[in-house]
């Protein structure tokens, strides 16, 4: 597969939030302010890329040769949880404002289905190492892009009817965003 096509597809047309409905908890929870959305997007991007790289090597050079591929989910959870704990320690000590703004959502990256989904899709699609990195980069940047665009829209919404406030208007906006991103099929 063409790497540019893989990157653009994972970034836009097969966006993990808008087409696969993965990572909805931080999508709705961390998208009320632009700065928080960018911070969460960067954290998820780092965890996704590092998890994809580490699990690629563990899966292909340990689990496949030993015929223990049934352990891939357990391995994935351990890798992601370890990386998230390391990231929390770094952010807590060096970037206290970001740590406070992300709150519990930072710890929830461990169970963020967007991270797990990207890594599992890379394994299930039998991507080679370069394709794995490109796919995880495109998917995680797509996650960050959607989070950022969504946060800019939410910050500007002021006079929403009471029955649409909160999640209802968020779902309407997300569906419109999905339609817009879907237009990029064939790039």
CA distances in angstroms from 121 to 72, 91, 153, listed in the order given: 12, 28, 30
Kindly state the DSSP code that residue 113 receives in the 8-state scheme. Answer: H
The half-sphere exposure of 51 on its side-chain side, counting CA atoms within 13 A, is: 41
pLDDT value of residue 30: 61
- Where in the chain are the domains? 3-182
Q: Would you write out the chain's pLDDT as a tens digit for each of its 187 residues?
A: 699 989 998 988 888 888 888 887 777 776 667 887 888 888 889 899 999 999 999 999 999 999 999 999 899 999 998 998 888 888 888 888 877 777 776 777 766 788 889 999 999 999 999 999 999 999 999 999 988 988 888 878 778 888 888 778 888 888 888 888 777 665 5
What global pTM score does this model have? 0.85
């Amino acid at each position: 597969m063409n790497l540019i096509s893989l990157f653009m597809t994972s970034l836009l047309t097969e966006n993990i939030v808008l087409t696969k409905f993965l990572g909805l908890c931080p999508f709705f929870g961390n998208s009320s302010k632009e700065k928080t959305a960018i911070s969460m997007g960067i954290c998820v991007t780092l965890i996704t890329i590092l998890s994809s790289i580490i699990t690629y090597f563990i899966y292909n050079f340990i689990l496949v040769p030993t015929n223990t591929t049934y352990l891939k989910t357990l391995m994935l959870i351990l890798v992601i949880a370890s990386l998230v704990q390391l990231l929390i320690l770094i952010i807590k000590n060096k970037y206290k404002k970001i740590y406070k703004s992300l709150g519990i959502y930072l710890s929830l990256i461990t169970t963020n289905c967007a991270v797990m989904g990207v890594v599992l899709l890379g394994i299930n699609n039998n991507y080679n190492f370069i394709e794995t990195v490109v796919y995880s980069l495109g998917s995680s940047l797509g996650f960050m892009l959607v989070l950022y665009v969504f946060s800019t829209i939410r910050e500007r919404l002021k006079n929403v009817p009471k029955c649409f406030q909160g999640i209802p208007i968020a779902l309407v906006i997300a569906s419109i965003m999905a339609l817009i991103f879907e237009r990029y099929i064939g790039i």
